[in-house]
Structure 1
Amino acid sequence: MTRTAIIAGAGALPAAVAAELDQPLVCALDGFQPAGLAVDQVFRVERLVPFLRGLADAGVERVIFAGAVQRPRLDPALFDPATAQMVPRLLAAMQAGDDATLREVLAIFAEAGFEIAGVADVAPGLVPGAGVLAGAPTEGDARDADRAAAIVAALGAVDVGQGAVVAQGLCLAVEALPGTDAMLDWVAQTARRPDPKGARGVFYKAPKPGQDRRIDLPTLGVETLRRAHAAGLAGIAFEAGGVILLDRAAMLAEAERLGLFLWARDAAGQA
């Protein structure tokens, strides 16, 4: 049996992934405790090389990254000599953006001899394929989803965000550093549609173009649906096979309760 380590961040995703595995080793970056999941080991970036050696000594062969993290503040006094040699490499990646940083992290783990699996590899039920999961998007909603998908692709190409809100063809908001919740809250408080009787709008979510899908897939949960409803939107569309639903059953029930559609949209814009 392949022993797997979950490199966990904050939120509910690490627990959802752990439920699909047989006794994984749960390792959390210091300061980013996963919700509802006991942690076996806490590590710091400044001691990355000893951490990797410890994983190998524990018989770990495969790692899965799950959960939200932000760039940690590094303490120069904590670096061991081997990890200190990686500092120029890590800093160069951080200066190039989030995607470059994630690619460098994956490269470091791969060079240490670990197989890197994605959430879709071990828990495919968390990453839905194409189809309308709840509700029924209209033709107007489909046009807004097309427009939002084009905007998200453009944003992702410059490593900005993974989401946008479009109503009646107009971009009401895009996701940036503050995140999805802040974007939807802003729409709820400020955005106005040209035609009050027209399409209410769509929130669209997708990975960045060229993103390594073994790490940092966008995630949707029940709270996202509630905020989309508060923003007056008709529903949520997302790229089929590219977005994690944290609790699919609960999300479908909540979408039906709120009268929102939930649409896993393929690359051609089809259900």
Structure 2
Amino acid sequence: MTGRLAILACGGALPVMLARAHPDALHFTLRGVPSELAATAQDFPLERIGALFAAMKEAGVSRMVFAGTLVRPALNPAEFDAEMMRLAPGLMAAIPQGDDALLRFVISMFEEQGFEVLGAHELLPGLTAEAGLAAGPAPSEAELADAARGVHILREISPLDIGQGCVVAGGQCLGIETVQGTDALLSYVAAAPAALRRGQRGVYVKAPKLGQDLRIDMPTVGPRTVAAVADAGLAGLIVAEGKVVLMQREEALALAAECGVFLLSQVFE
């Protein structure tokens, strides 16, 4: 018999969506990491991760999902329990290597305890953007060429573990997503001189890094992204089919149509 599902809930709407779809799931949060499921969750400081493991096992959890935006909490080594003391050297070694290395290590910590780690997309059918033009006008050949250039850029920087998005206009890269995130990138592009776009509006491209474990930190777009793309004067956004979460789908697609920007999903070679 399959054991219970646990949602390790961080910020944003995704944990709430999972909780609604899986009402029997148990909720856990990490102290210092905001979550909309906080009221129904058991809360544990990351320093006492051994206690979290024990609580999950005692509750009969065998499957778990990380959900939402994770804000790294500050750690107090004086409060480490025995399990965190054991894991700390590996954790500290992973942190400077970038988010992907860190998140892979976090997954391995739970797998080592016997938990099956699932991706949110495995528990919420239809969560990712399907192939094709979802909203807005069809992109021009020039915009598709800019998208192809954006895909190439993201593939080239993947080993550096920098980010999951970039903006290209007229073949010119106007910005790459870094730790500041999508909003910062698109606000920077909005403020850039129009002449840099070489006569094109430009496109925003979103995709996971090569080899990224999609069970955690899957790229995400939603109404806020669509609004920022429109505010930046871009023609639209192109995302990797089946590998980018589309949050608040109906609202995002309606907003794209209203703003006249396209949302296209395709396989990225």
Scaled by the length of structure 1, what TM-score is found? 0.94
Closer, same or farther in 2 for the Cα pair 1:61/1:36, shift >3 Å? closer
Q: Which residue of 1 aligns with 2:48?
A: 47
| SS of residue paired to 2:109 | helix
User: How many aligned positions are there?
Assistant: 267
Structure 2: gaps spanning 5 or more residues: none
Looking at structure 2, the residues matched to 14 and 206 of structure 1 have their Cα atoms a distance apart, in angstroms, of 21
* Match status 1:244 vs 2:242: no
Q: Counterpart amino acid of 1:253?
A: A
Whether the aligned pair in 2 keeps the contact of 1:5 and 1:24 (CA below 8 Å) is: yes
Whether the aligned pair in 2 keeps the contact of 1:193 and 1:200 (CA below 8 Å) is: no
Closer, same or farther in 2 for the Cα pair 1:195/1:157, shift >3 Å? closer
Looking at structure 2, the residues matched to 37 and 199 of structure 1 have their Cα atoms a distance apart, in angstroms, of 45
Looking at structure 2, the residues matched to 43 and 93 of structure 1 have their Cα atoms a distance apart, in angstroms, of 22
Q: Counterpart amino acid of 1:95?
A: P
Q: Percent identity?
A: 42
Q: Which residue of 1 aligns with 2:178?
A: 176
Whether the aligned pair in 2 keeps the contact of 1:28 and 1:39 (CA below 8 Å) is: no
Whether the aligned pair in 1 keeps the contact of 2:151 and 2:268 (CA below 8 Å) is: no
Q: Which residue of 1 aligns with 2:229?
A: 228
How far off its partner does 1:75 sit? 0.5
Q: Which residue of 1 aligns with 2:74?
A: 73
Q: CA RMSD in A?
A: 1.6
| SS of residue paired to 2:40 | coil
| SS of residue paired to 1:85 | helix
Closer, same or farther in 2 for the Cα pair 1:258/1:216, shift >3 Å? same
Q: Which residue of 1 aligns with 2:145?
A: 143
Looking at structure 2, the residues matched to 51 and 217 of structure 1 have their Cα atoms a distance apart, in angstroms, of 24
Whether the aligned pair in 2 keeps the contact of 1:188 and 1:230 (CA below 8 Å) is: yes
* Match status 1:204 vs 2:201: no
Looking at structure 1, the residues matched to 84 and 36 of structure 2 have their Cα atoms a distance apart, in angstroms, of 29
Scaled by the length of structure 2, what TM-score is found? 0.94
Match of 2:167 among 145, 165, 169: 165
Equivalence map 1:97-116=2 (5 Å): 97-116=98-117
Looking at structure 2, the residues matched to 185 and 61 of structure 1 have their Cα atoms a distance apart, in angstroms, of 42
Looking at structure 1, the residues matched to 95 and 261 of structure 2 have their Cα atoms a distance apart, in angstroms, of 38
Whether the aligned pair in 1 keeps the contact of 2:172 and 2:197 (CA below 8 Å) is: no
Closer, same or farther in 2 for the Cα pair 1:205/1:191, shift >3 Å? farther
Closer, same or farther in 2 for the Cα pair 1:219/1:38, shift >3 Å? farther
Whether the aligned pair in 2 keeps the contact of 1:65 and 1:118 (CA below 8 Å) is: yes
Q: Which residue of 2 aligns with 1:64?
A: 65
Q: Which residue of 2 aligns with 1:20?
A: 21
Looking at structure 2, the residues matched to 235 and 154 of structure 1 have their Cα atoms a distance apart, in angstroms, of 22
Structure 1: gaps spanning 5 or more residues: none
| SS of residue paired to 1:6 | strand
